[in-house]
């Protein structure tokens, strides 16, 4: 079961807002519901990722959630189950994850990523989040970049995401270097 074809007009504009101290609580609430619903597919934790998971960081007001599954094929039956909770599935980066938004593409409060636990995608999301949590100056640099890109790509989520790529790759390199020097 997949969502109908999505067009750019279906998306809400990109809006980066100041950090909201309520975001972690929204994640905890949603995680509780998802843990029960997804328990037969989970092999890893459910993590709060993305900018709303970094205290003090400006972000799109959308809670990004990553759930660790064994693999994408075995977790495919979770797609229609998640629809009952209001998650809309889209085959975005289908070789890396099952991607969902809630309640609709036009108004998003949550993104859910079912990601193979321990995969490169899984590890990089956590590495990036954790580096921003430990480095306030880098997090602020990222916030400034996102605010500028939100204006430039207001209705182009793909362009916005791609334009963040060089920054994210730079930070992943720094984080990996720090991790290997501390081993």
Task: Please indicate whether residue 150 or residue 92 has the higher confidence score (pLDDT).
Answer: 150
Instruction: Collect all residues with Cβ–Cβ distance below 8 Å to 143 and sequence separation of at least 6.
Output: 16, 51, 57, 58, 59
CATH superfamily entry for domain 8-177: Beta Polymerase, domain 2 (3.30.460.10)
Beta bridge partners of 65: 48, 112
In the chain, where do the E strands start and end? Answer: 42-49, 63-69, 88-90, 98-103, 108-116
Q: Which residue has the tokens 């309520």?
A: 22
Task: Please indicate whether residue 99 or residue 182 has the higher confidence score (pLDDT).
Answer: 99
Q: Which residue has the tokens 């590890």?
A: 123
Please check the confidence at residue 131 and state whether its pLDDT lies above 70. yes
Q: What is the mean pLDDT of residues 131-136?
A: 97
Record the pTM. 0.90
Please check the confidence at residue 54 and state whether its pLDDT lies above 90. yes
pLDDT at res. 3: 39
pLDDT tier, 8 (very low <50, low <70, confident <90, very high otherwise): very low
pLDDT tier, 102 (very low <50, low <70, confident <90, very high otherwise): very high
Angle of CA points 19, 21, 25, to nearest 5°: 125
Region of residue 138 (phi > 0: left; psi between -120 and 50: alpha; otherwise: beta):
alpha
pLDDT at res. 57: 98
Among candidate residues 147, 139, 123, the one with its CA nearest the CA of residue 171 = 139
């Amino acid at each position: 079961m997949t969502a109908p074809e999505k067009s750019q007009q279906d998306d809400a504009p990109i809006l980066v807002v100041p950090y909201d101290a309520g975001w972690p609580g929204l994640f905890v609430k949603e995680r509780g519901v998802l843990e029960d619903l997804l328990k037969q597919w989970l092999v890893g934790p459910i993590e709060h990722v993305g900018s709303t998971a970094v205290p003090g960081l400006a972000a799109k007001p959308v809670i990004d959630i990553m759930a660790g599954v064994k693999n994408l094929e075995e977790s495919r039956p979770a797609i229609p189950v998640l629809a009952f909770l209001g998650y809309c599935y889209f085959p975005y980066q289908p070789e890396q994850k099952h991607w969902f938004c809630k309640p609709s593409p036009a108004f998003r409060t949550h993104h859910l990523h079912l990601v193979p636990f321990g995969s490169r995608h899984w590890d990089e999301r956590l590495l990036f989040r954790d580096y921003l949590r430990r480095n306030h100056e880098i997090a602020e640099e990222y916030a400034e970049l996102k605010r500028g890109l939100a204006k430039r790509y207001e209705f182009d989520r793909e362009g916005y995401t791609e334009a963040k790529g060089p920054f994210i790759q730079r930070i992943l390199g720094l984080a990996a270097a720090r991790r290997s020097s501390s081993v």
